[in-house]
Structure 1
Amino acid sequence: MNKSMVRFLLSKLLLIEAALLIVPLIVALIYQEKLATIFSLLGTMAILLFIGSMGIIVKPKNRHIYTKEGLLIVALCWVLWSFFGALPFVFTGQIPSIIDAFFEVSSGFTTTGATILPDVSVLSHSLLFWRSFTHLIGGMGVLVFALAIMENSKNSHLEVMRAEVPGPVFGKVVSKLKDTAQILYIIYLAMFTIFAFILWVAGMPFYDSLVTAMGTAGTGGFTVFNDSIAHYHSSLITNLVALGMLAFGVNFNLYYLLLIRKFKSFFGDEELRVYIGIVLVSTLLIWLNVGGLFNTAAKGLEISFFQVATVITTTGFGITNLTVWPLFSQFILLLLMFIGGSAGSTAGGFKVMRSLILSKIAKNQVLSNLYPNRVMSLHINHQPLDKRIQHSVLKYLTIYLAIFIGLVFILTLDSNKFLVVFSAAASAFNNIGPMLGTDKTFAIFSPFSKLVLSFAMIAGRLEIYPMLLLFIPKTWSKI
């Protein structure tokens, strides 16, 4: 294993995080916050600068990155960024526990949106901003961002990007990897900027529009107020945020197709059509089921649509108390938690593409019993899908279910309510945020469970394999 390259890249990534902390520092200066808050940010930056600088003094002779190094760099980067990103909260005492702070920032970078805070007003403007800024950074991917700005454009970094971009299939939109990263991030940041402006025009204060747009773009769910989007009492804002979440739950490679005027490829994408279909059917079913809970049918439709959008995109914005909803609607939302958004989007979950592939595998398996001599092929977007990818999806499902069951098993030590435990595991592992069956935060769990959930959030965001390899001895061997 090329350990020197792992050390070198991780050090550069820590320097990038130090630079990103300048943004909340500027917010602290604008709002003239206490010196303790400013020094907490400066102190964290100093630690990152020291460690990062020490790690890049000796440059590696061999700069090639193999699959193992790529997976290891991705996993360690997300853990280290979450740990160091948590330090300002600990230094200021706004989140005194390092485990709680690590949970909160892991939730931010992985765009989960789960929180241990019963009241976000304890956070200063700068740290509340940093908390949501982690959504914006982690939405498209920490390493995708790094590759977009790093000077090394060689495709040796392909393994790093492949390990981080969600979905069963990774594809570059252009031939050069660095150009792909830059294009994706330009589209992502442009959509974020436009959406923040729209929210501001719709009546949100400027600071609120930025924080909410970051939570929407990263499909994370952190907001300015405890009652989330419901705080604004605006149907316009509610519907805008719902549409925004759905837009960021689409594969960003499709937006590139729009830019180059390949409209037929965009609208003909099979995953996109299934994604929209699931949203429409789920909204209709929930609306019919919960209609009696609201004063008007229009309000019921608005809330149903928003709730479907926030769950399937794994954003986690709040708009209503789900504990009073019928079990039928809660069960639909639970299913949407597992399905998640599109591959190559900022959304979490199992992904619509994998669900689509599994359904086609199941269909072919049934038909093969009827027609044993018939050769069954599987097509996505009119293209045959390689058997290797089909097998990888089945293997992923097996590992996914095994880890999920393990999470539920651990969380039962802290709660006797099955819906709470089951949805908490689903929420963390699928990067969603809210739990079902309770109106409390993740503070109800023990420090050990919160630490396990933190790693589960990172594992879910990185689609399991990079995090699993951290705990396998062979990963650290020289071979």
Structure 2
Amino acid sequence: MNKSMIRYLLSKLLLIEATLLLIPLLVAFIYQESITVVFSILGTIAILLAIGFIGIIFKPKNYHIYTKEGFLIVALCWVLWSFFGALPFVFAGQIPNMIDAFFEVSSGFTTTGATILPDVSVLSHSLLFWRSFTHLIGGMGVLVFALAIIENNKNSHLEMMRAEVPGPIFGKIVSKLKDTAQILYIIYLAMFVIFTAILWLAGMPLYDSFVTAMGTAGTGGFTVFNDGMAHYHSSLLTNLVSVGMLAFGVNFNLYYLLLIRKFKAFFGDEELRTYLGIVIVSTILIWLNVGGLFASAAKGLEISFFEVSTVITTTGFGITNLTAWPLFSQFILLLLMFIGGSAGSTAGGFKVMRSLIITKIAKNQVLSSLFPNRVLALQINHQPLDKKTQHGVLKYLAIYILVFIGLVFILTLDNNHFMVVVSAAASAFNNIGPILGTDKTFAIFSPFSKLVLSFAMIAGRLEIYPLLLLFIPKTWSKT
């Protein structure tokens, strides 16, 4: 194992986090916040700089990264960024419990949007901004961001990006890895800036526009107010955010195809069509089921579309009390929690692509039983999918189910409500945010459960394997 390279790159990544903290520090100065808040951010920056500079003094002799090192760097980076990113909240006394603060920032970086805060007004403007800014950075990926700016002439960080980018299939959109990372982040940030401007022009205050756009772009769900989007009482803003969430739940490689004018490849993408089909069908079913709860059919459609968009993209913005909805609609939303958004997007969940592949594998198995001599090829976008990828998806499904069952088992020690426990586990593991069956936050769980859920959020964002390696003793052997 190349431990010196792990130490070197992690140190660089901590220095990047220190630099990012300058933005909430600027917000603190703009709003003339207390000296306690300012020094809580400055203190964290100082700690990160000290650790980071010590770690990069001695450069590694071997810069090569193997798969194991790549996975470890990714997992450790997300854990360390969440830990150090939580320190300003603890130092400022706004989230004095370290486990709670770690949970909140893990939720931010993983774009889960789950919270332990019953009232977000306890946070200053700067720390509320930092809380949502973690969505923006974590949305496309901490390592994708780092690879976009870290010098990498030898293109040696492929394993890091492969470990972080969600989806069953990883592919560079251009030949150089750094160029791929830069293109993805340019598209991502351009969409964020445009969406921020749209919200502001639609009547949302500028600060709120930034925070809401960061929650939408990262499909995270942190907002300025406790009642989320319902605070604005605006159908225009609600519909804009619904469309925005769906846009960021699309595979960003497809947006690159739009830029190079490959329109047929974009609109013909099988995952995109399935994703939009699921949204349309789910919206109609829920709208028909909950229509009587709203003043008009139009309002019912607006809220149904919003809730489907916020759940399938795993954003988790709040707008209404879902506990009052019929069980049929809640169950549809629970299914959407597991499906999630597209591979290569900022959304979490199992991913539409994997669900599509599993469905086709099941269909082929049934057909092979009926027609044993028939040769059945599995195709995605009219291209055959190799057996290795198919087996990889099936293995991931098995591990996914086992981890989820383990989470539910642990949470049953804290709560006796089945829907609360299952949806909390699904919410954390699939990076969604809200809990069905209660109007309370994740503060209802014990410190141990919150710590487990924090790691579950990171595991879900990294698609399990990188984080699991941290807890396997053989990972740390020299071989």
Shorter chain as denominator, the TM-score bin is: over 0.9
Which residue pairs with 2:73 in the alignment? 73
Answering whether residue 349 of structure 2 is matched by residue 349 of structure 1, we say yes
Which residue pairs with 2:95 in the alignment? 95
Letter in 1 for 2:65: I
Which residue pairs with 2:257 in the alignment? 257
Partner of 2:157: helix, strand, or coil? helix
Paired with 2:67 and 2:367, the residues of 1 have a C-alpha distance of 37
Answering whether residue 318 of structure 2 is matched by residue 318 of structure 1, we say yes
Query: Offset at 1:154?
Result: 2.5
* Contact persistence 1:154–1:177 (CA under 8 A): no
Answering whether residue 203 of structure 2 is matched by residue 203 of structure 1, we say yes
Letter in 2 for 1:76: L
Query: In the TM superposition, what whole-angstrom CA distance separates every residue of 1:340-366 from its partner, at most 9, and x where no partner exists?
Result: 000000000000000000000000000
Query: Offset at 1:376?
Result: 1.1
Which residue pairs with 1:287 in the alignment? 287
Which residue pairs with 1:432 in the alignment? 432
Letter in 1 for 2:431: N
Letter in 2 for 1:263: F
Which residue pairs with 2:304 in the alignment? 304
- Once superposed, what is the RMSD of the aligned Cα atoms? 0.4
Paired with 2:131 and 2:196, the residues of 1 have a C-alpha distance of 17
* Contact persistence 1:228–1:317 (CA under 8 A): yes
Which residue pairs with 1:447 in the alignment? 447
Paired with 2:15 and 2:120, the residues of 1 have a C-alpha distance of 29
Query: Offset at 1:156?
Result: 1.2
Which residue pairs with 1:374 in the alignment? 374
Q: Counterparts of 1:5-154 in structure 2 under 5 Å? A: 5-154=5-154
Query: Offset at 1:375?
Result: 1.4
Query: In the TM superposition, what whole-angstrom CA distance separates every residue of 1:65-110 from its partner, at most 9, and x where no partner exists?
Result: 0000000000000000000000000001000000000000000000
Paired with 1:238 and 1:383, the residues of 2 have a C-alpha distance of 38
Which residue pairs with 2:423 in the alignment? 423
Letter in 2 for 1:221: G
Paired with 1:325 and 1:152, the residues of 2 have a C-alpha distance of 51
Paired with 2:207 and 2:371, the residues of 1 have a C-alpha distance of 61
Answering whether residue 476 of structure 2 is matched by residue 461 of structure 1, we say no
Which residue pairs with 2:2 in the alignment? 2
Query: In the TM superposition, what whole-angstrom CA distance separates every residue of 1:374-421 from its partner, at most 9, and x where no partner exists?
Result: 111100000000100000000000000000000000000110000000
Paired with 1:224 and 1:325, the residues of 2 have a C-alpha distance of 25
Partner of 1:156: helix, strand, or coil? coil
Query: Offset at 1:370?
Result: 1.0
Letter in 2 for 1:354: R
Query: Offset at 1:329?
Result: 0.2
Query: Offset at 1:153?
Result: 3.5
Letter in 2 for 1:345: S
Answering whether residue 335 of structure 2 is matched by residue 335 of structure 1, we say yes
Paired with 1:155 and 1:70, the residues of 2 have a C-alpha distance of 13
* Structure 1 residues without counterparts, runs of 5 or longer: none
Which residue pairs with 1:385 in the alignment? 385
Q: Counterparts of 1:211-250 in structure 2 under 5 Å? A: 211-250=211-250
Paired with 1:381 and 1:55, the residues of 2 have a C-alpha distance of 46
* Contact persistence 1:154–1:178 (CA under 8 A): no
Which residue pairs with 2:410 in the alignment? 410
Which residue pairs with 1:278 in the alignment? 278
Paired with 2:39 and 2:190, the residues of 1 have a C-alpha distance of 32
Paired with 1:274 and 1:149, the residues of 2 have a C-alpha distance of 34
When structure 1 is superposed on structure 2, of 147-156 and 209-218 the one drifting more is 147-156
Query: In the TM superposition, what whole-angstrom CA distance separates every residue of 1:132-181 from its partner, at most 9, and x where no partner exists?
Result: 00000000000000000001142210000000000000010100000000
Query: In the TM superposition, what whole-angstrom CA distance separates every residue of 1:432-471 from its partner, at most 9, and x where no partner exists?
Result: 0000000000000000000000000000000000000000
Paired with 1:165 and 1:66, the residues of 2 have a C-alpha distance of 17
Paired with 2:41 and 2:396, the residues of 1 have a C-alpha distance of 39
* Contact persistence 1:153–1:176 (CA under 8 A): no
Letter in 2 for 1:95: I
Letter in 2 for 1:20: L
Paired with 1:335 and 1:431, the residues of 2 have a C-alpha distance of 14
* Structure 2 residues without counterparts, runs of 5 or longer: none
TM-score when normalising by structure 1: 1.00
Which residue pairs with 1:365 in the alignment? 365
Paired with 2:410 and 2:478, the residues of 1 have a C-alpha distance of 34
Paired with 1:419 and 1:337, the residues of 2 have a C-alpha distance of 13
Paired with 2:249 and 2:340, the residues of 1 have a C-alpha distance of 8
Partner of 2:204: helix, strand, or coil? coil
Paired with 2:245 and 2:81, the residues of 1 have a C-alpha distance of 25
Which residue pairs with 1:176 in the alignment? 176
* Contact persistence 1:112–1:316 (CA under 8 A): yes
Paired with 1:178 and 1:281, the residues of 2 have a C-alpha distance of 39
Letter in 2 for 1:312: I
Query: In the TM superposition, what whole-angstrom CA distance separates every residue of 1:258-301 from its partner, at most 9, and x where no partner exists?
Result: 00000000000000000000000000000000000001000000
Letter in 1 for 2:241: V
Paired with 1:37 and 1:93, the residues of 2 have a C-alpha distance of 9
Paired with 1:429 and 1:476, the residues of 2 have a C-alpha distance of 25
Paired with 1:398 and 1:258, the residues of 2 have a C-alpha distance of 35
Partner of 2:152: helix, strand, or coil? coil
Partner of 2:65: helix, strand, or coil? coil
* Contact persistence 1:219–1:248 (CA under 8 A): yes
Paired with 1:136 and 1:153, the residues of 2 have a C-alpha distance of 26
Which residue pairs with 1:474 in the alignment? 474
